Amino acid sequence: MSSNIKISPSILSADFSKLGEEIILLDKAGADYIHVDVMDGHFVPNITIGPEIIKKLRPVTKKVFDVHLMIKPVDKYIQSFAEAGADIITFHPEATPNTEETIKLIKKFDKKVGISLKPKSDINLVEKYLDKIDLILVMSVEPGFAGQKFMPEVLTKLKKLKEIVKNKKLDIDLEIDGGINFENSKIAVEAGANVLVSGSTIFKQNNGDLKKNIGLLRSS
């Protein structure tokens, strides 16, 4: 049991007709972050929400908005997401011509920077920037949809990242995202994750008992 695990419920599995209320419930149920999946129908084959909705949701909670951008291009939208109230802005290196510039842009708005790696994306996409970022999001499904099956092969990558971060004594969150459930959360934590994203498990298991589900994941 690890007490420093953070839980970042993905609102992709929430009821979109009452997103504000759902976020208030997640807040009360003990979520650490609120994971917001932004998809553009181009970088990934699905479309979700944009900065205007995030701006409207911002006043309902003080929790960290953990915004996962699955959009390409990404740079021209950073300002809108920053101003909408994102706290952590995570992007995919494949979505920018210059990773370093995107990092700088996010920092210009005083936001925390995350880099996300798809299941097949190599560690070298992030390695050069480790001293400049706050979070690495390791995807354990192909980005695009909630409710997919966890890909255990990404744990090798997570372990390597954990090793590097530990050796360099860096303060970087290692977040895992996709298909996390009560069975695999423990191996994800053992592999080095300290932030668990979960959509389906938190919203659908145990008749949608958010508090119970968050608690069960936290005790991984």
81-120 mask for Zn ion (x: CB under 5 A)?
----------------------------------------
20 binds ligand DX5 (CB under 6 A): no
Measured from the CB atom, is 64 or 104 closer to Zn ion? 64
For residue 178, state whether it binds ligand DX5 (rule: CB under 6 A).
Answer: yes
Catalytic residue among 40, 66, 173, 177: 177
Structure tokens at 189: 């934590």
Pick the catalytic residue from 27, 37, 171, 173: 37
Q: Is 177 a catalytic residue?
A: yes
Could you tell me which residues come within 8 angstroms of residue 17 by beta carbon, excluding any fewer than 6 positions away? none
* Minimum CB distance to ligand DX5 smaller for 20 or for 147: 147
> How far is Cα 93 from Cα 74, in angstroms, rounded to an integer?
10
Q: What minimum distance in Å lies between the beta carbon of 137 and Zn ion?
A: 7
Interface of this chain with Zn ion, residues 24 to 43, rule: CB under 5 A: 37
CA distance 128 to 141: 24
Instruction: Say whether residue 10 binds ligand DX5 (CB under 6 A).
Output: yes
Amino acid in the structure at residue 98: N
177 belongs to the binding site for ligand DX5 (CB under 6 A): yes
DSSP 149-204: PP-TTHHHHHHHHHHHHHHTT---EEEEESS--TTTHHHHHHHT--EEEESHHHHH
Instruction: Name all contacts of 206-215 with Cβ < 8 Å and 24+ positions apart.
Output: 210/9, 210/25, 210/26, 210/29, 210/31, 211/28, 211/29, 211/30, 214/7, 214/9, 214/26, 214/29, 214/30, 214/31, 215/30
Active site residue 37: yes
Among 82, 141, 216, 217, binds ligand DX5 (CB under 6 A): 141
| Site size for Zn ion (CB under 5 A) | 3
- Residue 9 lies near ligand DX5 (rule: CB under 6 A): no
38 token code pair = 């932004």
Residue 173 engages Zn ion in binding (rule: CB under 5 A)? no
CB of 179 to ligand DX5, least distance (A): 5
Structural element, H or E, at residue 212: helix 210-218
Q: Is 195 in the site for ligand DX5 (CB under 6 A)?
A: no
- Rounded to whole angstroms, how far apart are CA atoms 144 and 10? 13
According to the binding rule CB under 6 A, does residue 115 interact with ligand DX5?
no
Catalytic residues: 37, 177
The residues of the shown chain that bind ligand DX5, judged by CB under 6 A, are 10, 12-13, 35, 37, 68, 141, 143-144, 146-148, 177-180, 197-201
